[in-house]
């Protein structure tokens, strides 16, 4: 009788950065994975003596981390990146394209493309708004959310999709075009119609462990109630009640953009709380920060987002007040990537520059903001975000045997200061090896990229976007665009 147990996967060797409560780092470690979950984390010798596995991954000269979690992105953006990056009315342009200028296929292949990019950068869970700009959600019909979910599921990445009413409260009807039939059809959908679609999708995708989940989302958490007429205030209150009710029913809360000027109103409308994650949070006052702390509302800080150029997110002040702050990428248009390592460093640079002090934003804290803090912000901290017994097995292996990562000392600092998404070599999601030695195991990557290219070319042509794709005045020799 063998002494050992045969399980699915054993990871042997390497430096394990657990991100557990004690922030344990295990040199020459081992991880046992069975039925999608972490069975044991410990020393290599102990794990090897106890288990035999169908797959043994040698992690020597590697760092082993919990999969990164990107708390905020936008669907559609992967297909639209860089286009119109200098256009002041970018949000209006993108809304036109998303609501009236793309076919169904666009939402599927965008999701595949975004999921592939995230996977190849070490992101194992992403949260995504179904659209972008000023709230260009495709909540006119459930099929768009379904196509998005299909794409993410085929790649094999965890996805939390946010959808809800379009625009800003009070929500007004929007016109959508359907380009898939024999000829273009148009429909107008109001708040009730958008909420109906949202409800359907939130109910359909409820189980986090089936990889894809949906969540009640509004583009902007609330207007400033003081700016509205009594009539509009009444509409906003009624709509907010419905949004809160669906969030409560689903048990999955709310995701939304938000920042200084609307936090008091959001609290009054019942839209702040421990099940709420607000994105950007620029320009917060001390009073706002106190509301975050007292309501337990989470922050998704996207340091490379354009919103942050306008108003700083007071990350150190929020952390000092006891608020949970996570990192997000804000998707990939017009000028970003899903490489969360870049966000870790940018988050440091912004605050260190602001305070003229390089002791702000220590690497360990920043790494937490992309793993366990991010999981907590999304309400999934019991399932993922750290390498601990009983959690789902979302694990990434970084090859540290490279010029920019050697000598292999001070692993957590080295990762935050020097690593890139491309250094992630192998990704395990829910106990399944989804990428190994940078080869995606679930779908044919090359075919997917060709598909995305073809659809993007059609979208450029249909929406006449070529005018936004040249080199504008000031591109080569000026300090700013003309
Ligand atoms: Zn955003």
Are residue 20 and residue 110 in the same domain, yes or no? Answer: no
73 alpha carbon – ligand 1 mean position (Å): 6
Report in angstroms the alpha-carbon separations of 327 from 19, 129, 375, 457, 471.
15, 15, 10, 32, 32
Answer yes or no: is 159 within a domain: yes
59 alpha carbon – ligand 1 mean position (Å): 36
pLDDT value at residue 358: 97
Domain count, the chain: 2
Dihedral (C-alpha) 470, 476, 480, 481: value to the nearest 10 degrees? -20
74 alpha carbon – ligand 1 mean position (Å): 6
Distance of CA 272 to the CA centre of its chain: 20
279 alpha carbon – ligand 1 mean position (Å): 7
Phi, psi of 72 (to 5 degrees): -155, 125
Structure tokens at 122: 């070490």
pLDDT value at residue 3: 65
189 alpha carbon – ligand 1 mean position (Å): 23
pLDDT value at residue 308: 86
Are residue 109 and residue 257 in the same domain, yes or no? Answer: yes
Are residue 277 and residue 418 in the same domain, yes or no? Answer: no
Answer yes or no: is 102 within a domain: yes
370 alpha carbon – ligand 1 mean position (Å): 17
CATH number for position 112 = 3.20.20.140
Are residue 282 and residue 308 in the same domain, yes or no? Answer: yes
38 alpha carbon – ligand 1 mean position (Å): 32
29 alpha carbon – ligand 1 mean position (Å): 38
36 alpha carbon – ligand 1 mean position (Å): 31
70 alpha carbon – ligand 1 mean position (Å): 12
Answer yes or no: is 419 within a domain: yes
pLDDT tens track, the chain, 482 positions: 566 789 999 999 999 999 999 999 999 999 999 999 999 999 999 999 999 999 999 999 999 999 999 999 999 999 999 999 988 888 889 999 999 999 999 999 999 999 999 999 999 999 999 998 777 789 999 999 999 999 999 999 999 999 999 888 999 999 999 999 888 899 999 999 999 999 999 999 998 878 999 999 999 999 999 999 999 999 999 999 999 999 999 999 999 999 999 999 999 999 999 999 999 999 999 999 999 999 999 999 999 998 888 999 999 999 999 999 999 999 999 999 999 999 999 999 999 999 999 999 999 999 999 999 999 999 999 999 999 999 999 999 999 999 999 999 999 999 999 999 999 999 999 999 999 999 999 999 999 999 999 999 999 999 999 999 999 889 999 999 87
Instruction: Give the separation between CA 109 and CA 107, rounded to whole angstroms.
Output: 6
pTM over 0.85: yes
Are residue 45 and residue 72 in the same domain, yes or no? Answer: no
Are residue 176 and residue 254 in the same domain, yes or no? Answer: yes
Q: Under DSSP, is residue 41 helix (H, G, I), strand (E, B) or coil?
A: strand
Task: Show Cβ contacts of residue 28 under 8 Å, excluding neighbours closer than 6 positions.
Answer: 13, 14, 15, 43, 44, 45
452 alpha carbon – ligand 1 mean position (Å): 22
Which tens digit of pLDDT belongs to each residue from 402-442? 999 999 999 999 999 999 999 999 999 999 999 999 999 99
159 alpha carbon – ligand 1 mean position (Å): 16
Are residue 18 and residue 110 in the same domain, yes or no? Answer: no
330 alpha carbon – ligand 1 mean position (Å): 5
Burial of 64 (0-12, 13-18, 19+ CB in 10 A): buried
23 alpha carbon – ligand 1 mean position (Å): 30
404 alpha carbon – ligand 1 mean position (Å): 32
Answer yes or no: is 452 within a domain: no
Answer yes or no: is 20 within a domain: yes
233 alpha carbon – ligand 1 mean position (Å): 25
268 alpha carbon – ligand 1 mean position (Å): 23
110 alpha carbon – ligand 1 mean position (Å): 16
CATH number for position 10 = 2.30.40.10
329 alpha carbon – ligand 1 mean position (Å): 8
pLDDT value at residue 1: 53
Are residue 371 and residue 396 in the same domain, yes or no? Answer: no
Residue 245 burial (CB count, 10 A): 14
Task: Show Cβ contacts of residue 393 under 8 Å, excluding neighbours closer than 6 positions.
Answer: 9, 31, 33, 36, 37, 38, 428, 429, 430, 431
Residue 182 burial (CB count, 10 A): 5
Domain span at residue 11 reads: 5-66+391-440
Answer yes or no: is 455 within a domain: no
Answer yes or no: is 475 within a domain: no
Q: Under DSSP, is residue 327 helix (H, G, I), strand (E, B) or coil?
A: strand
Task: Tell me which of 377, 402, 431 is where a domain ends.
Answer: 377
355 alpha carbon – ligand 1 mean position (Å): 26
281 alpha carbon – ligand 1 mean position (Å): 11
125 alpha carbon – ligand 1 mean position (Å): 16
325 alpha carbon – ligand 1 mean position (Å): 16
76 alpha carbon – ligand 1 mean position (Å): 12
Are residue 402 and residue 273 in the same domain, yes or no? Answer: no
318 alpha carbon – ligand 1 mean position (Å): 20
Can you give the length of the chain in residues? 482
Distance of CA 104 to the CA centre of its chain: 22
pLDDT value at residue 482: 78
316 alpha carbon – ligand 1 mean position (Å): 21
460 alpha carbon – ligand 1 mean position (Å): 22
376 alpha carbon – ligand 1 mean position (Å): 19
134 alpha carbon – ligand 1 mean position (Å): 9
Instruction: Give the separation between CA 13 and CA 28, rounded to whole angstroms.
Output: 4
CB 168 within 8 A of CB 135: yes
Q: Under DSSP, is residue 232 helix (H, G, I), strand (E, B) or coil?
A: helix
Instruction: Give the separation between CA 227 and CA 225, rounded to whole angstroms.
Output: 5
Are residue 193 and residue 52 in the same domain, yes or no? Answer: no
Are residue 397 and residue 289 in the same domain, yes or no? Answer: no
Burial of 32 (0-12, 13-18, 19+ CB in 10 A): buried
15 alpha carbon – ligand 1 mean position (Å): 34
301 alpha carbon – ligand 1 mean position (Å): 10
Answer yes or no: is 247 within a domain: yes
Are residue 293 and residue 435 in the same domain, yes or no? Answer: no
């Amino acid at each position: 009788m063998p002494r050992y147990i045969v399980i699915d996967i054993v990871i042997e060797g390497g430096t394990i950065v657990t991100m557990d409560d004690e922030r344990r780092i295990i040199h020459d470690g081992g991880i046992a994975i069975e039925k999608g979950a972490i069975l044991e984390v410990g020393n290599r010798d102990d794990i090897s003596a106890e288990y035999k596995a169908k797959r043994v991954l040698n992690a020597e000269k590697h760092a082993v981390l919990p999969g990164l979690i990107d708390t905020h992105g936008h669907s559609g953006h992967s297909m639209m990146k860089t286009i119109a990056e200098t256009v002041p009315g970018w949000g209006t342009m993108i809304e036109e394209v998303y609501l009236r200028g793309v076919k169904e296929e666009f939402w599927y292949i965008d999701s595949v493309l975004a999921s592939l990019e995230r996977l190849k950068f070490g992101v194992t869970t992403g949260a995504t708004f179904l659209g972008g700009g000023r709230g260009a959600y495709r909540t006119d019909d459930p099929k768009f959310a379904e196509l998005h979910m299909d794409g993410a599921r085929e790649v094999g990445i965890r996805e939390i999709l946010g959808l809800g009413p379009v625009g800003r409260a009070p929500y007004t009807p929007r016109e959508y075009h359907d380009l898939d039939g024999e000829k273009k059809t148009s429909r107008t959908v109001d708040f009730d119609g958008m909420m109906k679609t949202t409800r359907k999708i939130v109910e359909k995708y409820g189980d986090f462990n089936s990889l894809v989940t949906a969540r009640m989302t509004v583009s902007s958490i609330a207007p400033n109630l003081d700016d509205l007429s009594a009539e509009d205030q009444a509409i906003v209150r009624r709509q907010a009640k419905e949004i809160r009710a669906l969030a409560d029913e689903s048990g999955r809360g709310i995701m939304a953009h938000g920042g200084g000027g609307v936090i008091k109103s959001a609290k009054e409308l019942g839209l702040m709380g421990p099940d709420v994650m607000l994105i950007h949070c620029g320009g917060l006052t001390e009073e706002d920060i106190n509301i975050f702390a007292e309501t337990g509302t989470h922050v998704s800080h996207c340091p490379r987002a354009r919103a942050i150029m306008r108003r700083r997110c007071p990350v150190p002040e929020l952390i000092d007040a006891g608020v949970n702050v996570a990192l997000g990428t804000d998707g990939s248009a017009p000028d970003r990537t899903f490489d969360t390592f870049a966000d870790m460093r940018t988050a440091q640079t912004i605050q260190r520059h602001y305070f003229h002090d390089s002791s702000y934003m220590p690497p360990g804290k920043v790494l937490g903001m992309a793993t366990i803090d991010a999981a907590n912000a999304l309400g999934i901290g019991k399932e993922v975000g750290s390498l601990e017994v009983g959690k789902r097995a979302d694990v990434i292996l970084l090859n540290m045997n490279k010029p920019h990562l050697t000598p292999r000392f001070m692993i957590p600092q080295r990762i935050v200061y020097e690593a890139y998404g491309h250094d992630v070599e192998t990704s395990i999601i829910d106990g399944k090896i989804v990428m190994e030695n940078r080869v995606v195991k679930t779908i044919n990557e090359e075919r997917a990229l060709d598909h995305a290219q073809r659809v993007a070319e059609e979208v450029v042509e249909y929406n006449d976007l070529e005018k936004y794709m040249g080199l504008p005045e000031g591109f080569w020799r000026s300090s700013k665009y003309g």
